[in-house]
Amino acid sequence: MMKNANSHRLYRASRIKDILRIARERASQPEQRTKQWLSRELGISYRALTAIEEGDAPPTLELAISWCEALEDRIAKEKILYIYGIQALPPTDPRLLADMSTQLINFLQELAEAGAAAKELQRISVSKRPGKEFNPLELEEIQRLLKQILDVRHASYCIANVAEEAWGVARESVKHQWVQQSVANDVVIKSIDEYEKYMKDRNYEQHIQHIVQQNGAL
């Protein structure tokens, strides 16, 4: 289900039709710009494709992604994923992506600032009294520090984009390697069964905590 509760998102779900239409009309290959070619690639009718572009039949997420991939439009795909809440950040304007050297310098700068922010958050964490809520000014400062840390993620995406565009290093291959290593290191939840076990254990712990709160220490 699409996450539409976040009013801070740059793009609205109602503009998906325009994103897909622009991706087709501005495709790099002339034949890809035709509705006939794209409808064949997607396995849908010409009429269905037209209905999607006109906003009469909103596409599924899977179809929207396939649409972007067929046209090899990474930016359109990232916009779709951002609208659905699957990707945390909107795509970076490709005109702002300079060469790799510049991106690496920017990444190191963001990393240094994130390190300083992390140290400040650590200080806040140590000094926080149990049960005491943060006041509005403190929350604003925490948000600013977290934003600096999030900047590192954005900078890393920029490096990956340049590596793909300029060096031909596929981002999907890098992601696949990351997932494999994360599974080997037990960093990620590896299966649905493991997820179910986690949820069962979590619910049990919450149940025990509730009993303790109601009746005192066991």
Q: What is the pLDDT of residue 166?
A: 85
Average pLDDT value for residue range 5-17: 77
Element (H, E) at 189: none
CB contact burial 174-205 (16+ within 10 A = b; e otherwise): eeeeeeeeeeeeeeeeeeeeeeeeeeeeeeee
Query: Model's pTM, two decimal places?
Result: 0.64
**Residues 175-201, mean pLDDT to the nearest whole number:** 86
Render pLDDT for 117-160 as a digit per residue (tens, 0 to 9).
Answer: 999 999 999 999 888 899 999 999 999 999 999 999 989 988 99
* Percentage of the chain lying above the pLDDT 90 cut: 54
